[in-house]
Chain A
Amino acid sequence: MTTGPEAPNSTPTRGRKRTSAPPATVEEPTPAPGHEQRDVILEVTELRKYFPVTRGILVKRKIADARAVDGLNFSLIRGETLGLVGESGCGKSTTGRLITRLLEPTDGKIVFDGHEITHWSQSQIRPIRRDIQMIFQDPYSSLNPRQTVGAIVAAPFRIQGIQTEKGIKQSVQELLELVGLSPEHYNRYPHEFSGGQRQRIGVARALALRPKLIVADEPVSALDVSIQAQVINLLQDVQGELGLTYIFVAHDLSVVRHISDRVAVMYLGKIVELADNEGLYEHPLHPYTHALLSAVPTPDPERERTRERILLTGDVPSPLNPPPACRFHTRCWKAQEICKTVEPPLLELAPGHQVACHFPEERVLV
């Protein structure tokens, strides 16, 4: 089990970076235009996940598919943070779970660091798990209440069968310090900590094996604002210190703006707009992005009351039976006949700015 895909992984000491040379196999996939020269760590091609909906007790007949993720294409550059935003049910969390391979993709391809891991079995994937870690949303249910903090943070070492030079206990204590907890917390239980501290424990566990990629699924949405800011700062600090790549899944567009280099907006299992931070927030092109941005309240009363607000009607349609062609046409104020018949492809309209819309238009909303 210790035969990881890359060099000996025995001494996770603080500050060690693994962003050195890109593995030779990386060039194999065809990266998105504009990123040819960059160091791609993750490449996702036509990724799909359909959850079967069954009926019947003894004989389960499949009656429909819930298309949670329906054809995603994006790549991730080493060291960057990609934000995935969208409303509940848009497939952003499923995407995170597919990349960490907690779920088996229905179709498509996931290439991580030169390895196509799309359909790898549990035992095949285990060595790779060292490099892809996850931070979960709910700091209450993601920690085993019967284990001590020490046991929780040491679990990755135990599972991967890794010995560290200084011994696991000391490594764990260093990790606790790194995330702003005290080494004395080693023998305490999760219930003795507040929500923000628990999320720090979750971060320490994710960092234990010095991963390359961390998928953070709504890591701050369960926390109070003052604590949110602490955890966001922590995530940014360890990213700088350890050279991590993040996929940051969140519904809060202002948090995503703060932490992400690039942002993908999802709607009903598809990416509708993908751009760098400035492009997305200052020159958004897709009507859905416009609606999302205009709906986020800003803590500035005068601005808030004079700002243009686009009110969408209705709710997100069911992924069991998504609208044909452009999935947003049922709620879009710009929809024309073509939107109901032809699906708009995700096109690069400006360098690094991809949009799937028949009538893209720049609009200043922030």
Chain B
Amino acid sequence: MSSTPEPLDGGVSAPAVVSEAPHAFLDVRDLRVHFPTDDGLVKAVDGLSFTLDRGKTLAIVGESGSGKSVTSLSIMGLHNKKRTRMSGQIWLDGTDLITSSAEQVRALRGEKMALIFQDPLSALHPFYKVGDQIAEAYRLHNKVSKAKARERSIELLRLVGIPEPDRRVDDYPHQFSGGMRQRAMIAMAVSCNPSLLIADEPTTALDVTVQAQILELMKEMQREFNSAIIIITHDLGVVADVADEVVVMYAGRAMEYGDVADVFYRPEHPYTWGLLGSVTRLDGDRAERLQPIPGNPPSLINVPPGCPFHPRCPYGSLNGGKEREILPLLEETTPGHLVACHLPVEERRRIFRDEVAATL
């Protein structure tokens, strides 16, 4: 449970290890989530800090195995405590979730924070009616009769745009289409008007037209409940659509953190450049060759020493060996824009301006 002796790369604007309650609605400080396994220690999240206010949307982007989903599960308190080593702080509206008991976290789950899973087919129970599954969460937090809870289910299904909700409330999940299941998941998540909504790849399994509907629905829900939303995705298009702020994760760490315009228009981390250069886009130059990031993401058991991105970084060698030994800290380059890179700020901006921007 003790934090590792490595340098903290958190320290957003406030110092990382302050234990009084913070100002932001959600304040994650130096979160570390490690899983001991037979093969070694998996450092799924290794020093992540961010804040989020109500009414705002934070996107966490990264490739598979970058620690995105582990972050969301640890905020929800869904890791098995016996098999997980967690340290750091997760302040939600003045309560530190990491030091809270399982009982306390359970009381918050559903009421104050809710999770929308990626795959609604496996997240919904096939044996119970959709309406009953929505009502369950509602009745847990509100002392109401079954009939009242059923009314609430119908109301929620109507809210998320399911046609004929009073009939559909008695359907089983298999009778819903993929998009409708995801809507039902959202209905379940918002049943108690949670102030924090975490959506873990909510549209990855859906077609584009349905994805557009679901993203629109999430924005509506946010306006309705003034909730804070964390959206976890690998799709930069989705990020550009919904996010106010973005954390770019790689190997369990934040590489770049800033508002959406900073990350898309003035990115400073070579990994962010790589991601932006890899995506095919509808508005780009088609003749332009894609610029993939060479190599593969590292194993979280053997994270490369120094900067975890250095083996794949085209500019790593400009640092004269530092990149292989010293872990770069997440440092503010302009107010609200943080980057973890050894390259001097001026040098990064020059490379982006002269070499990278034109290829995106």
Contact = CB atoms under 8 A, between A and B. Distances in A.
B238 interface: yes
Contact of B212 (A226, A295, A301, A314): A295
B264 interface: yes
B280 A254 contact: yes
B209 A297 contact: no
Given A224-B234, A366-B282, A301 B240 contact: yes
Centre residue among A292, A304, A305, A309 by max chain B CB count within 10 A: A304
A232 interface: yes
B283 A298 contact: yes
Contacts of A297: 211-212, 215, 235, 237-238, 240-241
A303 B156 CA distance: 32
B141 to A, nearest CB: 31
A300 B240 contact: yes
A258 B64 contact: no
Interface residues of B, number: 48
Contacts of A45: none
Contacts of B291: 229
Given A258-B286, A366-B283, A292 B209 contact: yes
B290 A229 contact: yes
A85 B339 CA distance: 38
Contacts, number: 136
Contacts of A325: none
A255 interface: yes
A297 B211 CA distance: 9
B207 A300 contact: no
A301 B213 CA distance: 18
Contact of A228 (B213, B241, B278, B281): B278
A226 B274 contact: yes
B208 A225 contact: no
Centre residue among A224, A281, A292, A309 by max chain B CB count within 10 A: A224
A155 interface: no
B240 A194 contact: no
Contacts of B297: 224, 226
B177 interface: yes
A51 B175 CA distance: 21
Given A224-B64, A226-B63, A257 B236 contact: no
A291 B207 CA distance: 12
Interface string A237-258: 0000000000000011111011
Contact of B280 (A257, A302, A366): A257
B263 to A, nearest CB: 9
B280 A255 contact: yes
Contacts of A232: 280, 290
A194 B296 contact: yes
Contact of B292 (A229, A304, A305): A229
Contacts of A196: 296
A258 B283 CA distance: 10
A305 B244 CA distance: 12
Contact of A233 (B208, B264, B290): B290
Contacts of B238: 297
A204 interface: no
Interface in B195-224: 207-213, 215-216
Contacts of A299: 236-237, 239-240, 264, 276, 279, 281
A308 to B, nearest CB: 12
Centre residue among B240, B290, B291 by max chain A CB count within 10 A: B290
B275 A225 contact: yes
Interface string B282-295: 11001001111110
A111 interface: no
Given A227-B296, A229-B278, A314-B163, A251 B208 contact: yes
B293 A292 contact: no
B240 A298 contact: yes
Interface in B277-328: 277-283, 286, 289-294, 296-297
Interface of B: 63-64, 163, 177-180, 207-213, 215-216, 234-241, 243, 260-261, 264-265, 274-283, 286, 289-294, 296-297
25 contacts: A225-B234, A225-B236, A226-B293, A226-B297, A227-B63, A229-B277, A229-B278, A229-B290, A232-B290, A251-B207, A254-B281, A254-B282, A258-B286, A291-B209, A295-B212, A298-B237, A298-B281, A298-B282, A299-B236, A300-B240, A300-B281, A301-B243, A309-B216, A311-B213, A312-B213
Interface of A: 87-88, 194, 196-197, 224-230, 232-233, 236, 251-255, 257-258, 277, 281, 291-305, 309, 311-312, 314-316, 366
